Each structure stands twice: as C-alpha cells, then as structure tokens.
Amino acid sequence: MGPFVILGCGYTGRRVAGRLLDAGFQVAATARSLGLLQGLIDRGLQAHRFDARNPESLSDIVSAGATVLHSIPTLTGDDGPYEATADILQALGKKPRRVVYLSTTGVYGSTSIVNEATPINPNTNRVRLRAAAESAVASGPWESLILRPAAIYGPGRGVQVALPAGKYRLPGDGSNYVSRIHVADLAAITAAALTSHLTGAYPVADDHPCTSLEIAAWVGRLLDVPVITGEAPDSLSETRRSDRRVDGRTIRKLLAVELEYPSYREGIPASLG
C-alpha cells in the first residue's frame, strides 16, 4: 500500500507521518518550512517545501496511485480567508488512488448535537469555504473520506497553554459546549483512515463534550491559575463561540481505533511538560 503523501504536514500531519513511518510505509510530505520535520526526515520522510498558493509543483511530488492526506487549512489572503483546495486538486489531476481530507466540525454551523448522520450547516464564510473543499474532494476521481475533527489539543496547544498565558477567555458564562480530540488520537484515526477503504464523511471527537467553564475551571485548579469569565462572545473567534456536542464513536468503530485519551482529564495531564 502507498506511497502516502501528506499535504500540510503540521501539528497533526507530523504525527500521522510518524505513525505511517513506524508501520514501514513510504511517506512524502509538504510544508511551507521543513524545520519541524527534521526528526521525521531522519527517519525516512521525503519532505518538500510547498506553498499552497502555488500548487503546480504537486505534480512532481505526488506519484500515480498515491494515498493523499489533505491537511491544508483555509488560507488568509489580502481579501480575507480563501480556500486553495480547488487548485490543489486540479494540480493532483488523476494521480491519487485515495484522498482523505481533514476538515472541521465547524461545517455543522449552529447545530448543537452532531453525529455521523448530521447534515452540514455552514453559517460563516470560513466554514462555507471548508464545505466547498469537502465537496471538491468528494467529487474527485478517487476514493475519498472526509474527517471532521472537533477542537484539536495536545502538547503545546489547548486550554492548558492558553489559560496560563492569559489568552483564554470564557464567552459569557462559559455554558457553551465544546468537543475535543487529542492530537495523538486524531493521528491514530487519520492513519487508520488512510490505510482503509472507508468512504463518506464523519465527525471526530473524544467521549467527553463539556462546557467551556468546566474545562477552564479544571485546568485552573490543576495549574493554579485564575479563570476570566464574562467575555462578550462577539469579541472572540467564531471557534470559541461555538456550542456543539459531537459524537465521534462511529468512525472509531468503523476503523477499529480505541481512544488513548477519552477526555481532557487524561489528555491534558499527558500534554503538559
């Protein structure tokens, strides 16, 4: 099976690459800068500098029959957010055998209870771009799977980092629900998705959706830092204002993946230090 190509080998992609290399697969990856990939390069990763704004070089990176992970998020240009997926897919042509796209649960919009049967409901420009990217991937001449991760956290990223830095604010009373997935679990699910033949679109989340206040208070006690409440929701990013409980059990069952971190209570301590 393979070769595998990871487009956008960042926070999640690096961990997916590591799992594939551990399994003995041939793996290539793209990134704007290769500095963070050096450890993987030493293990056999074929790394390529790549700017999604100029995707023509992909024809030299992706070989016929490759399995591709598309992990490049919506970009920001002079005129605001824009989606490079259409140009990326055009550059891929008909070479890939399979494409897995890492999207976001943001495409469910204001829907508050989400599972694998929930239709998307994009309600902002950024997530409408994501929905368009999903559609483009799903309509290509390859086998495709869409993964929609909830908020991704892990070492160096999450409430346990933002709260001590004074960068975490609760929207209103913090009663909005947020679902999460530890990056190690997301990488395990994604690696299994790449090596499967499963198609369709699925949300990805751990087993413990919780309110913003619950996790902030827990982290505050754990790290002995104060929690600041009452921030006007409109002053926060759209991801911080979301109110969504995500059931991610189906994709894990289909791919036979067990969570290493079923909730933040296991995942946050493992992410510290």
Instruction: Find the Cα–Cα–Cα–Cα dihedral 42, 46, 51, 56, rounded to 10°.
Output: 170
Give the pLDDT confidence of 54-108 residue by residue, as tens digits: 888 898 899 999 999 999 988 777 677 778 899 999 999 999 999 999 999 999 9
Note down pLDDT in tens along the chain; length 273 residues.
769 999 999 999 999 999 999 999 999 999 999 999 999 999 999 999 998 888 888 988 999 999 999 999 887 776 777 788 999 999 999 999 999 999 999 999 999 999 999 999 999 998 999 999 999 999 999 999 999 999 999 999 999 999 999 888 888 888 999 999 999 999 999 999 999 999 999 999 999 999 999 999 999 999 999 987 766 556 556 666 689 999 999 999 999 999 999 999 999 999 997
Domain count for the chain, please give it.
Answer: 1
Would 237 be classed as within a structural domain?
A: no
Range of the domain at 53: 4-153+181-206+247-260
Would 226 be classed as within a structural domain?
A: no
Would 224 be classed as within a structural domain?
A: no
Contacts with 35 (C-beta within 8 Å, 6 or more apart), sequence order: none
User: How far is residue 26's CA from residue 24's CA, in Å, rounded to a whole number?
Assistant: 7
Would 36 be classed as within a structural domain?
A: yes
User: Which CATH number goes with the domain that contains 128?
Assistant: 3.40.50.720
Would 117 be classed as within a structural domain?
A: yes
Would 221 be classed as within a structural domain?
A: no
Instruction: Find the Cα–Cα–Cα–Cα dihedral 1, 59, 49, 151, rounded to 10°.
Output: -60
Contact between 17 and 9 (Cβ < 8 Å): yes
DSSP 147: E
Could you give the angle at the alpha carbon of 272 between the alpha carbons of 266 and 273, nearest 5°? Answer: 145
**For the purposes of burial, counting CB atoms within 10 Å of the CB of 266, is it exposed (0-12), middle (13-18) or buried (19 or more)?**
middle
Contact between 8 and 72 (Cβ < 8 Å): yes
DSSP 217: H
Can you give the pLDDT at residue 54? Answer: 87
User: How far is residue 211's CA from residue 180's CA, in Å, rounded to a whole number?
Assistant: 11
